[in-house]
Amino acid sequence: MSLWWAILLLPVGICALVKGADWLVDGAVAAAERLGMTPLVIGLTVVAMGTSAPEVASSIAAALTGSGDIAVGNVYGSNIANLALVGGLCAIFRPLIVHRAVISRDIPLMLAAVFVLWPVMRNGTVSRFEAVLLLVCFTAILAVMVSTERRRTIADRKVLAEVEAKIEKTACHIPKSLGISLFFVAVGLVCLSVGAHLTVQSASVLGRAVGISEAVIGLTVVAIGTSLPELTASLVAVIKGHDDLSVGNLVGSNIFNALLVIGAAGLTKPFAANARFAGWDFWLMAGTSVVFAAVAFKFRRIPRPAGWVLLIGYCGYIAWLFLPGR
């Protein structure tokens, strides 16, 4: 791929990723409803997994092409962007109230998912055995979230009503029949596959052309591009006053990214990654998660000043990545 084609196709790839995720979520939600799944299970699985679908597709494509640094950098960068960039922007727009269940269950699970990555990345490779372990951890965490959510009563019904309202308002073009729903799912998956391929290939060419490492490209361009679904969904939730949905989306997406994305990429094809992902890059991602968690635990909300700190910190992080030698 030439440099000019890479410049042209990178935004095309990112747009295909975002639109593919949109169609996948719409189709999957409609199909799940037609098949009799509860709105609760839809909210915890299909919607959350849908917003992480671009990361899954991009990292698998990167692993298949031997670009392990982009695969891991995409996850690290997306997790940092979700909490610092997206969370910061949402809190600046309006301080975020953090739901009790997010504080007591989801944030601790997010921290556990993040720190599970360190021993995996420490040897610089992700084997199929390690990938299976990550996917087992992901399945266990998902089971905990679903089982505990089922036990909630009055508050449960309120959250479910908000999830249903959000789905109806933000995806009014959801297909009506099962056949059309499955068609949307298929088209969404194709768009994700094509978009992931274009994004990874274009980003790699651009990075090499300007002397930037694939790790930095994965941590910035690819990560921000694949975080657009979380950004859109969270801002819409904040605008509509659904703070718990906004924070839950960010925290849940980070769990999916850490375990499902790297696990799926490693299971598809074992890959090697730069040693930096067990060093500063890991601790910056983990530190961002800890800071976000500490603010939520302390204030039961993400106040506007904390939003500014997160956003400024993210800008500083991006600037640091582009320093010589990074």
Identify the domain containing residue 304 by its residue range: 3-321
Predicted pLDDT of residue 304: 93
Per-residue confidence band for 295, with pLDDT thresholds at 50, 70 and 90: very high
46 vs 263, residue with greater confidence: 263
Measured CA to CA, the distance from residue 108 to residue 292 in angstroms comes to 11
Per-residue confidence band for 242, with pLDDT thresholds at 50, 70 and 90: low
160 vs 275, residue with greater confidence: 275
Predicted pLDDT of residue 326: 59
Q: Would you say residue 326 lies in a domain?
A: no
Measured CA to CA, the distance from residue 41 to residue 306 in angstroms comes to 32
pTM of the model: 0.75
Residue 171: pLDDT over 50: no
Predicted pLDDT of residue 58: 79
Distances (CA, A) of 116 to 31, 80, 144, 251, 269: 33, 16, 17, 16, 20
- Per mean pLDDT, which range of 10-14, 147-151, 245-249, 320-324 is the poorest? 147-151
Q: Would you say residue 240 lies in a domain?
A: yes
Count of C-beta atoms within a 10 Å radius of residue 64: 16
Measured CA to CA, the distance from residue 62 to residue 204 in angstroms comes to 10
In this structure, what token pair is assigned to residue 176?
A: 């009506």
Q: Would you say residue 64 lies in a domain?
A: yes
pLDDT in tens, 204-235: 777 777 677 777 777 777 777 767 767 766 77
**Residue found by looking up tokens 């490209």 in the block:** 217
Give the whole-number percent of the chain exceeding pLDDT 70: 76
1 vs 136, residue with greater confidence: 136
Measured CA to CA, the distance from residue 146 to residue 282 in angstroms comes to 28
Quote the strand ranges of the chain, DSSP E: 96-97, 125-126, 271-272, 301-302
Residue 319: pLDDT over 60: yes
Contact 25, 233 (CB under 8 A): no
| Amino acid at site 149 | E
- Per mean pLDDT, which range of 64-73, 159-168, 180-189 is the poorest? 159-168
Q: In 3D, which of 254, 158, 203, 245 has the Cα closest to residue 67?
A: 203
DSSP string, 223-251: HHHHTHHHHHHHHHHHHTT-HHHHHHHHH
DSSP, collapsed to helix, strand or coil, labels residue 202 as helix
Q: Would you say residue 103 lies in a domain?
A: yes
Q: Would you say residue 41 lies in a domain?
A: yes
Measured CA to CA, the distance from residue 23 to residue 14 in angstroms comes to 14
Residue 184: pLDDT over 60: yes
CATH number reported for the structural domain that contains residue 42 in this entry: 1.20.1420.30
**Residue found by looking up tokens 């998660």 in the block:** 289
Residue 40: pLDDT over 50: no
Altogether, the residues listed in the chain come to a count of 326
In this structure, what token pair is assigned to residue 65?
A: 């092409």
* Interior angle at CA 286, CA 281 and CA 292, nearest 5: 130
DSSP, collapsed to helix, strand or coil, labels residue 301 as strand
Q: Which of 131-135, 168-172, 274-278 has the highest mean pLDDT?
A: 131-135
Per-residue confidence band for 37, with pLDDT thresholds at 50, 70 and 90: low
Q: Which long-range contacts (CB under 8 A, 24 or more apart) does 292-300 make?
A: 292/83, 292/84, 292/87, 292/107, 293/107, 293/108, 293/110, 293/111, 296/98, 296/102, 296/103, 296/107, 296/247, 297/103, 297/107, 300/97, 300/98, 300/103
Measured CA to CA, the distance from residue 96 to residue 107 in angstroms comes to 15
How many independent structural domains does the chain possess? 1
Measured CA to CA, the distance from residue 162 to residue 146 in angstroms comes to 17
Residue 170: pLDDT over 50: no
Predicted pLDDT of residue 135: 94
Q: Would you say residue 116 lies in a domain?
A: yes
DSSP string, 58-108: HHHHHHHTT-HHHHHHHHHHHHHIIIIIIHHHHHHHSPEEPPHHIIIIIHH
